Every structure is written in structure tokens, then in C-alpha cells.
């Protein structure tokens, strides 16, 4: 049986002025309520693996393995703890030798190895962390961008996208419920399916590259910076 090629999806939260974190790795400007957290859980539970750099992975591994044991962490937080523990994880690091919690350590971003991972059966692969995403983007290994735009200007910090002379077109703006907005962006002219966020004030931008193919500030989630 032949399986459809899995996608590498860069899943990230961003401020309205284009930053994924403020000075000193500040992400307390993330506006995430239970509804949005549930939506993140729904999307990420369908993935086939998480791809993270060492910093993001260690932040996640410091909190999520036992997050659902805290009686105060009910609802979507407890839900994501189970998702995180069960999800196959790949941490890219040249210093780590091993990692727990269903995690494979990968020392370098090798296109052939990423393609082999995409050819395996299962859900798509959620990529997190700006540093690792930059390495994937430089090798043209990102298939889609799922960007959650929070309605806040933070002024300075780590930008989501590096400066470039390349122009990437985006599709037409699509009206969705609760004053949110979804964009379909791509370099091939092929539009990705629209994903409408249901929370007021949060826009969702989706970007795909064609056929070539941390939620709240505390705790760290899969749409956090890094």
C-alpha cells in the first residue's frame, strides 16, 4: 500500500508585528484561552510527530510529562500532557545523546533523513522553534506554515521570519466566525485548505510550498518560540 507523503508543518504563534517572543524569551503576551488550547490539542493530536530543537524540547520535557497529575491543571492542559507523552518526538541537537519520553535524538538536519521520515505512514509532522525552523527552511523542507497571529504589538524580540529578498504570495483573505481571519499562502499558486480559528482576536495564517513537498506563556506549549 502506498501512503501519501506526510507534511512538515511549522506551527507557531506570532505577534501582530511579526515576533515569536519578546526580549528574554518573553511570551506572556500569548492570548490563549481554553477554547484555543482545545483547538491546538485537536490539531496536534492528529499529527504523527513533533520536531523540536533542544531548547524547546527541554522546556516541554520539564513540564508536560507530569502536567496532568496536578489537580489544578485540568481541561486542555491535562489533555495536552497525554498528547505530548504519547507523540513520537524528534529533538535536533548536537549535544544531547539521549532523551526520554518517546524521543529520538537527531544530530543534524539531513534532507534525505527528513524525506525518509515524511515517507513513513502516519500523521503530519509538527515543527516547532525558530532556530530549527530556519534550518529546515534553508533546505526547503517546510511544506506548510500554520501561524497563529495574536492581536498585540510587542515592539521588539525574535522575528518569526528572517530578512529575505524572496517574496512569498498569499491568497485572498477569508472571512471566518468571531472576527478572526485565515490566509492561504503559498509559492506554487496551490491553496492549502483553510483552517478557521474560532476564538475572537486570533488570526490564523496558513502557508504551503506546493507539491514539493506553547500555548500560554506558562506552561510552554507547541506554538511557543524557541
**Tens digit of pLDDT for each residue in 89-101?**
999 999 988 888 9
Residue 78 has pLDDT above 80, yes or no: yes
What's the sign of the alpha-carbon dihedral 173, 126, 188, 210?
negative
- The edge-to-edge listing of strands for the beta sheet with 8-15 is 103-106, 89-92, 49-53, 125-128, 8-15, 144-150, 203-208, 181-186, 174-175
Residue 175 has pLDDT above 90, yes or no: no
Please give the average per-residue pLDDT across 212-219, as a whole number: 39
Residue 159 has pLDDT above 80, yes or no: yes
Residue 209 has pLDDT above 80, yes or no: no
Determine phi and psi for 150, rounding to 5 degrees. Answer: -90, 135
pLDDT at site 224: 59
Q: What is the DSSP letter of 82?
A: H
Banded model confidence at residue 84, pLDDT cuts 50, 70, 90:
very high
Residue 139 has pLDDT above 60, yes or no: yes
Amino acid at each position: 500500500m502506498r501512503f501519501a507523503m506526510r507534511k512538515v508543518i511549522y506551527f507557531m504563534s506570532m505577534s501582530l508585528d511579526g515576533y515569536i517572543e519578546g526580549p528574554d524569551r518573553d511570551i506572556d503576551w500569548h492570548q490563549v484561552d481554553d477554547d484555543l488550547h482545545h483547538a491546538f490539542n485537536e490539531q496536534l493530536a492528529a499529527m504523527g510527530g513533533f520536531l523540536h530543537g533542544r531548547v524547546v524540547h527541554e522546556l516541554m520535557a520539564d513540564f508536560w510529562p507530569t502536567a496532568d497529575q496536578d489537580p489544578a491543571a485540568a481541561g486542555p492542559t491535562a489533555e495536552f500532557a497525554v498528547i505530548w507523552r504519547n507523540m513520537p518526538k524528534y529533538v535536533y541537537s548536537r549535544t544531547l545523546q539521549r532523551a526520554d519520553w518517546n524521543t529520538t535524538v537527531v544530530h543534524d538536519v539531513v534532507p534525505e533523513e527528513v524525506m525518509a521520515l515524511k515517507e513513513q505512514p502516519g500523521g503530519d509532522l509538527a515543527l516547532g522553534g525558530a532556530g530549527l525552523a530556519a534550518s529546515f527552511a534553508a533546505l526547503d523542507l517546510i511544506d506548510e506554515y500554520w501561524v497563529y497571529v495574536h492581536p498585540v504589538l510587542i515592539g521588539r524580540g525574535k522575528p518569526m521570519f528572517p530578512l529575505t529578498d524572496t517574496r512569498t504570495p498569499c491568497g485572498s483573505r477569508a472571512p471566518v466566525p468571531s472576527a478572526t481571519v485565515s490566509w492561504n499562502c503559498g509559492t506554487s499558486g496551490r491553496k492549502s485548505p483553510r483552517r478557521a480559528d474560532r476564538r475572537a482576536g486570533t488570526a490564523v495564517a496558513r502557508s504551503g510550498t506546493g507539491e514539493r513537498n506553547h500555548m500560554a506563556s506558562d506552561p510552554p506549549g507547541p506554538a511557543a518560540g524557541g
